[in-house]
Amino acid sequence: MSVALWFRLYPTLLSGLPYSTYAWVPIRNTELIIEHTPLHLGDDTIFDGYNNYWPANSLFGAVLSELISVKPISVMALIHPLAGAIGVLIFYVLVKKILGDIKIAFTASIFLAIVYPYTMLTAGVMKETYANPIYFLCIFIFLSKWKSKWKKGFLFSIASVTLVLSHHLTALLTIITLSSLWLATSLEKWRKGFSFEKSGFISIFALAATFFLYIGLYARTGFTSVPLNDYLAVASYQVVVFVISASLVFRQRTEVKPLLGLSVMVVAVLLITLFSVKTSLLTTASELPFRYSFSQARILTSALIILGGIYALRRKGGIVPLFWISALLGLEAYAMFGNSG
């Protein structure tokens, strides 16, 4: 937690200003809320016409500013990096719950605490920063087993409403992630002779209904219109990646040697070398500066993903991280090949 907080506070401590160029609109909206309350948050003559439709971070900043009598610009410059660091703490608890191993949870959390660009994203006064720990919290509640389903449903409902008020795309990401996890775990149970879990489906449906009702009844003006074929494209990529993942996970398990991960790392090093050459190898390709090799070094994590996937398949609960990644890969594929603005 302390490592995560330091990395997220560092830009603000260095400059003395709230981090991120996106910071100024939420801060200004917070000042307007304090100045004009009571007011309608959908009044575009006062607000910017976009961020005010997802006002959770500004409302939080306004309440805290009034409670401790400190200007919003100072409060939000510190409280948002703290929220980003809390996300890492929730992630630690989540990983420990899924795999039941403190060492794995600690290692995964350290990665999340320091990895770029996630660290920079969650250091800024942005909607995404505030929404991110709620994203992890929704997944944690969803995967938790409670004696009282009503208490679990109540807490998940509060988290869902807060998430929808925080950031639209994070809410969509949560719906997609939970759908992948629910379907995968349900298939696993079905293969063992158990019935599908209804409560998980109800939770996902409730979150999706909250999201689309909020957009349709209130935030439609701030939400960029997305054509139906884009939704179909996103769903199609999710189905393709999920089927590929399921065919690898649910078939008869074969022993995969860790040498595969080493092979991927060797290929990754060759790719980094290729991207780092000062002279273009193709007449149509751009010449990339050597410093770009530090960014391309992230390709090395593909080897860790493969090794982690092999390890996860051998553990109880291992399909959860694999199908979490599956949902993300489906979105990445859409982002690269979907041809959408």
pLDDT tens, 13-65? 998 899 988 899 999 999 999 988 888 887 778 888 888 899 999 999 999 99
More confident residue, 180 or 281: 180
pLDDT of residue 31: 92
Of 77-86, 170-179, 199-208, 266-275, the least confident: 266-275
Q: 267-276 — which CB contacts under 8 Å span 24+ positions?
A: 268/299, 268/300, 268/302, 268/303, 269/300, 271/296, 271/299, 272/296, 272/297, 272/299, 272/300
pLDDT at 222 over 90: no
Q: How far apart are the first and last CA of the chain?
A: 37
pLDDT of residue 205: 94
pLDDT of residue 198: 79
Q: What is the DSSP string of 286-326?
A: PPPPTTHHHHHGGGGHHHHHHHHHHHHHTSTTTHHHHHHHH
CA distance 47 to 45: 6
Percent of the chain with pLDDT over 90: 43
pLDDT at 293 over 60: no
pLDDT of residue 327: 92
pLDDT, average across residues 278-294: 58
pLDDT of residue 261: 59
Listed in sequence order, the residues at least 6 apart from 234 whose beta carbon sits closer than 8 Å to its beta carbon are: 176, 330, 331, 334, 338
pLDDT at 127 over 70: yes
pLDDT, average across residues 241-265: 70
pLDDT of residue 341: 65
pLDDT of residue 294: 59
Selection from 276, 324, 339, 307 nearest residue 140 by Cα? 324
CA distance 22 to 126: 6
pLDDT, average across residues 293-304: 62
Question: Both tokens of residue 91?
Answer: 């992630």
More confident residue, 184 or 222: 184
CA distance 151 to 157: 10
